[in-house]
Amino acid sequence: MLTIFTDGACEGNPGRGGWAWVRVEADGTVREECGGEPATTTNNRMELRAAIEALNALTTPAAVRLCSDSRYVVDGMTKWIANWKRRGWMTKREGECVLNRDLWMALDAAAARHRVEWRWVRGHDGHPQNEYANHLATRAAREQTSSNGLEPSRFDTWVTGEQDSGRVRVPPFPFPSRDTFRADPLLPPPPELHHSPFA
């Protein structure tokens, strides 16, 4: 079981973007990754990209609690995507494609390999792991920096400094227990996948 916090950012909307994720593993290990997007992009695309990158970084199927401050991502994956897929990635308006369809399809494929609980957290509300993901994504957008793949996280050092300064007053989210984990129902696999490891 894993907990992942994702965030996306944009210097202007649209503008240059950045994405980041922070992963907490069962043994307490924290890892992270971030990247910049030099082409003109949007906040929503970077939020989607963060979730895609986070799930694709997992090398084996896992139970994942994915926390995002984007209602767009969480509602999309829990409320809208089944209908989009049934309509061939079209909206209710005839002949109109789902906005950001390329990234929604990529996120659908990434999520199909895992059991995912999609959880919304309020952004900029002092939640340490969410604030740290925002810090990484914002820096990646501003400086156009990328981590060199998956790397050990600097979260502990960062959060200590933030707590000392009073900017973060909420304790880090606890690791989820199996009793509280509630994966969302599995969706039909995307066309390019013949089965899910959890089917």
For the chain (199 residues), the mean pLDDT of every run of 10, in chain order, is: 95 95 90 94 98 97 96 96 93 87 97 96 86 96 88 88 81 64 56 35
Residues 6+ apart with CB under 8 A from 72: 44, 47, 48
Distance CA 35, CA 142 (A): 11
Query: Tens of pLDDT along 21-48?
Result: 999 988 888 899 999 999 999 999 999 9
Quick one: tokens of 149? 């793949």
DSSP 3-state assignment of 11?
Answer: strand
Q: Are 130 and 73 in contact (CB under 8 A)?
A: no
In three-state secondary structure terms, 38 is strand
For 90, which DSSP code? Answer: B
CB-neighbour burial class of residue 50 (10 A; exposed 0-12, middle 13-18, buried 19+): buried
Q: How far apart are CA 192 and CA 154, in angstroms?
A: 37
Q: What is the DSSP letter of 23?
A: E
Q: What is d(CA 58, CA 62) in angstroms, rounded to the nearest whole number?
A: 8
pLDDT of res. 134: 95
CA distance 138 to 8: 7
Residue 181 has what pLDDT?
A: 61
Class of domain 2-165 as given by CATH: alpha beta
